[in-house]
């Protein structure tokens, strides 16, 4: 009997011992995925190559432009070369437009080439350009005064932005000026701004229709300057003219022209702004996926909008988010080729005009949306991720914390979390999914003076990239996607009860809670682009 028991014990020992290497191998396999992700990012990163090709070679990606289509094709080819299935999702049409050469020269009272550019979708000049005197709206007392003045602008360029009292950002005033001088500057700036807006209201026109009044009165073009409160930076958006060109001129040159007009110098300017109209063109999202092997109909979605404004090259908004997600997909395909759930990436079009690409995806792919485990979105600059909110999902702490626990501490130590947080209402594409009840999270980045220097400005270019921070974000996003895919449980979609009021994170002031955001329809026809 003892011998029998001894034999049984030996058999049990041998069986359990045989199982241990397998379990250990499985554990090592899990660990090895993360280790390989980190090693690949640190030693074989493709971020710089991707950045050069997308920002330097292709350039800005304004919706409806040939460059946007070039970017879509480039991304599909990249994914195909990496062995990842990729395709275009056409969701609408847009006004086809292509920027040409912009050249702005002051001819009188002296020669100077001015720093500026044509606004998006602006009408073109002829190849010879337009040469004309420059004027601005004078102080008026009534709409009748304004209408009388309009009779004088035929054949002239009209300056349509307010003057600025300083070209130095506030942080310089805080550092170098006396407190008295800083306060004096701010008071002067406020007075100029108040006076300008009061004068504008007296015209009897609104922001959207005053340009037509200039056009109808015979102005040959508009000169604006949307200063971004930073050295050399101007916001560059769209023109609001139908017939005449609209150029944006940097603060330094715009204020010089303004002073000349104000002092009766009557500067003369020549503008060449050649652009092309391409009629109605299709517009897309670029989608790519690594198919899941156990739950192929469930999804983890990586999200970043592909389009940009075109004052710069759209680098930090949102080229950096784009190449982070591309690099994550490349690495996951290499080291995690058989995920439990399907890992998809969405490079959305026309985010800048109202989240149109992601809203169209939510509308066109309801089954995918219904079965999405999580969405990870990045869209605010080149910095390392420092904030992660639960977006109002009641149990987000449980699964986000579980996924984050696998991320190296040197990455997570920078991240502040907010659970369950409040749902995003429309700042970026994750909001399209939150509105549909999908656990969708914004990987919010360190500022790096984003809003002043690069957000929608002429300075949003390759040289602003901080690659160490982007590598940080690739590691974070790849591990989050991996853990979300492997999770045995489905992420809860239960929503918190929202408070009646909350605190504005920027101002610290109380404000009414907006409630849970509702699903909004995309604009699928942007042929007017206004």
107-143 pLDDT, tens per residue?
A: 999 999 999 999 999 999 999 999 999 999 999 999 9
With b meaning 16 or more CB within 10 Å and e meaning fewer, what string describes 416-432? Answer: eeebbbbbbebebbbbb
Go through the domains of the chain in sequence order and give each one's CATH number: 33-97+280-526 (3.40.630.10), 102-274 (3.50.30.30)
Q: 22: pLDDT confidence band, cut at 50, 70 and 90?
A: very low
Q: 4: pLDDT confidence band, cut at 50, 70 and 90?
A: very low
pLDDT at residue 6, rounded to an integer: 44
The chain-wide mean pLDDT, for the chain, equals: 93
Strands 385-389 and 416-418: what pairing?
Answer: parallel
With b meaning 16 or more CB within 10 Å and e meaning fewer, what string describes 117-139? Answer: bbbbbbbbbeeebbebebbbbee
pLDDT at residue 506, rounded to an integer: 66
Instruction: Name residue, tokens 């899990």.
Output: 30
Q: Look up residue 450 and give its DSSP letter.
A: I
Please tell me whether the overall predicted TM-score, pTM, comes out greater than 0.85 for this model: yes
Q: 505: pLDDT confidence band, cut at 50, 70 and 90?
A: low
Instruction: Name residue, tokens 């409806």.
Output: 64
pLDDT digits 0-9 by tens, 170-220: 999 999 999 999 999 999 999 999 999 999 999 999 988 999 999 999 999
Instruction: Name the strands in the sheet holding 416-418, side by side, starting at the edge strand that comes first in the sequence.
Output: 416-418, 385-389, 444-445
Report the range of poorest mean pLDDT among 213-227, 369-383, 480-494, 500-514: 500-514
CA-to-CA distance for 50 and 328, rounded, in angstroms? 12
pLDDT at residue 26, rounded to an integer: 37
CA angle 150, 156, 157 (to 5 degrees): 100
For residue 396, how many C-alpha atoms fall within 13 Å in the half-sphere facing its CB? 26
């Amino acid at each position: 009997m003892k011998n029998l028991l001894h034999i049984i014990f030996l058999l049990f020992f041998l069986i359990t011992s045989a199982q241990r290497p397998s379990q250990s191998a499985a554990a090592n396999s899990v660990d090895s995925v993360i280790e390989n992700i980190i090693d690949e990012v640190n030693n074989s990163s493709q971020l710089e190559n991707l950045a050069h090709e997308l920002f330097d070679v292709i350039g800005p990606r304004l919706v409806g432009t040939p460059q946007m289509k070039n970017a879509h094709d480039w991304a599909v080819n990249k994914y195909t070369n990496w062995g990842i299935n990729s395709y275009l999702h056409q969701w609408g049409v847009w006004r086809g437009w292509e920027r040409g050469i912009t050249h702005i020269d002051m001819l009188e009272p002296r020669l100077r080439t001015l720093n500026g550019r044509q606004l998006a979708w602006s009408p073109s000049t002829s190849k010879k350009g337009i040469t004309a005197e420059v004027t601005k709206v004078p102080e008026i007392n009534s709409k009748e005064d304004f209408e009388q003045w309009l009779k004088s602008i035929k054949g002239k360029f009209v300056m349509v932005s307010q003057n600025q009292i300083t070209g130095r950002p506030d942080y310089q005033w805080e550092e170098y000026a006396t407190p008295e001088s800083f306060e004096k500057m701010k008071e002067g700036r406020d007075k100029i701004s108040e006076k300008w807006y009061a004068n504008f209201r007296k015209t009897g026109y609104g922001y959207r229709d005053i340009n037509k009044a200039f056009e109808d009165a015979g102005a040959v073009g508009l000169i604006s300057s949307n200063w971004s409160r930073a050295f050399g930076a101007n916001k560059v958006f769209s023109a609001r003219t139908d017939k005449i060109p609209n150029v944006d001129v940097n603060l330094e040159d715009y204020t010089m022209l303004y002073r000349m007009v104000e002092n009766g110098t009557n500067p003369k300017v020549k503008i060449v702004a050649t652009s092309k109209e391409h009629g109605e063109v299709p517009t897309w999202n670029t989608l790519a996926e690594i198919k899941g092997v156990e739950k192929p109909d469930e999804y983890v979605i990586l999200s970043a909008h592909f389009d940009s404004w075109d004052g710069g090259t759209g680098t930090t908004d949102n080229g950096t988010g784009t190449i982070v997600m591309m690099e994550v997909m490349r690495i996951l395909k290499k080291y995690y080729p058989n995920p439990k759930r399907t890992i998809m990436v969405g490079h959305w079009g026309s985010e800048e005009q109202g989240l149109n690409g992601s809203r169209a995806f939510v509308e066109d792919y309801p089954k995918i949306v219904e079965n999405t485990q999580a969405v990870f979105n990045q869209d605010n600059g080149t910095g390392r991720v420092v904030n992660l909110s639960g977006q109002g999902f009641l149990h987000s702490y449980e699964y986000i914390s579980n996924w984050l626990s696998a991320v190296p501490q040197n990455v997570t130590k920078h991240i502040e979390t907010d659970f369950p947080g409040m749902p995003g209402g429309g700042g970026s594409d994750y909001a399209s999914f939150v509105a549909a009840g999908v656990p969708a999270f914004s990987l919010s980045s360190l500022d790096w003076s984003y809003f002043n220097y690069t957000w929608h400005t002429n300075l949003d270019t390759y040289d602003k990239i901080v690659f160490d921070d982007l590598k940080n974000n690739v590691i974070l996003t790849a591990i989050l996607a991996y853990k979300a895919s492997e999770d045995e449980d489905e992420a809860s979609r239960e929503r918190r009860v929202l408070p009646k009021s909350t605190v504005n994170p920027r101002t610290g002031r109380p404000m009414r809670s907006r409630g849970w955001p509702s699903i909004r329809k995309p604009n699928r026809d942007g042929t007017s682009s206004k």
